[in-house]
Amino acid sequence: LIRRQIDATLIALSPHLDDVVLSAAATVLRWPGRRLLVSVFSGDPAEPPSGVAAAFHSACNLGHDAMLRRRLEDFAACEVLRCEPLHLEFREALYRTAANGESEIGEEGELFVASAARQDDAVRMVAETLRRILDEHPFSTVLAPLGHGCHRDHIIVRQAIEHLCYPIFAYYDDQPYEWWGRPRGPRPPDGYVHKMRKLHADGWETKIRALGCYASQMRMLWGQDWKQGFEIDHRQAGGIREEGLWVRV
Ligand SMILES: [Zn+2]
């Protein structure tokens, strides 16, 4: 039993390729055992991409190979954080089409519509895949997004892991949505308390270096001088190199 505890794997669930690093790098960096960073919505878009997907690509300075390049960014970030990447092939909301071939998302704002977030089929499919991953990594510790901002992909990941009734070690505050005052995510279940996890100077520097690997996403979120924008948003939200986490007590 002791050996299993030492070897326990952290499974950090990231809806998109950059979410865990933006929101919960401290937890990953402190984890003494194996670290698996599972990015759920890492699949390629349909060809040709929808109008809203094409607009997103141009905001990220990416072309038709956007997801390939973003997966490469994640490989680099995982090397910085010393964790193993696992890219699931689900398409993110911007890329999904309904059965009639129409895009799920007509314009960006629809990504954050909480009432549309309950998508049972997507939750069930993601849950099935997560169950297989958990079976392959017994005694794992799971870190999940809370769903701040109500991005529908974040909500799907949370609902999928909760659907499995697997104990969740902690939920992280999704950034930058929480800093930006976007709608609060659904409350954590009873028995979780909010804590701030501080990153010491070298941890913070490692986080910034890992974020820099996601060049396309940092540019899309904060522009060319993303480091400055990131630091300003972090400070204005009252952060002093800290990350918010809901931890099971
Ligand atoms: Zn995300």
Q: Which of 33, 38, 122, 124 is nearest to 86 (CA)?
A: 38
Whether residue 25 contacts residue 199, with contact meaning beta carbons closer than 8 Å, is answered with yes
Q: How many whole angstroms from 195 Cα to the centroid of ligand 1?
A: 21
Q: Which of 30, 79, 17 is nearest to 199 (CA)?
A: 30
Q: Write the pLDDT tens digit of every residue in 140-151.
A: 999 999 999 999
pLDDT at residue number 238: 86
pLDDT mean over 171-175 = 97
Q: Write the pLDDT tens digit of every residue in 151-170.
A: 999 999 999 999 999 999 99
Q: How many whole angstroms from 221 Cα to the centroid of ligand 1?
A: 11
- The percent of residues above 90 in pLDDT, for the chain, comes to 79
Residue 188 makes CB contacts below 8 A (sequence gap 6+) with: 146, 171, 246
Does residue 2 carry a pLDDT above 60?
A: no
Whether residue 154 contacts residue 147, with contact meaning beta carbons closer than 8 Å, is answered with yes
Q: Which amino acid is at 246?
A: W
Q: How many whole angstroms from 5 Cα to the centroid of ligand 1?
A: 30
Q: How many whole angstroms from 153 Cα to the centroid of ligand 1?
A: 7
Ion ligand 1 nearby residues (CB, 5 A) = 15-16, 19
pLDDT at residue number 1: 47
Q: What is the pTM of this model?
A: 0.94
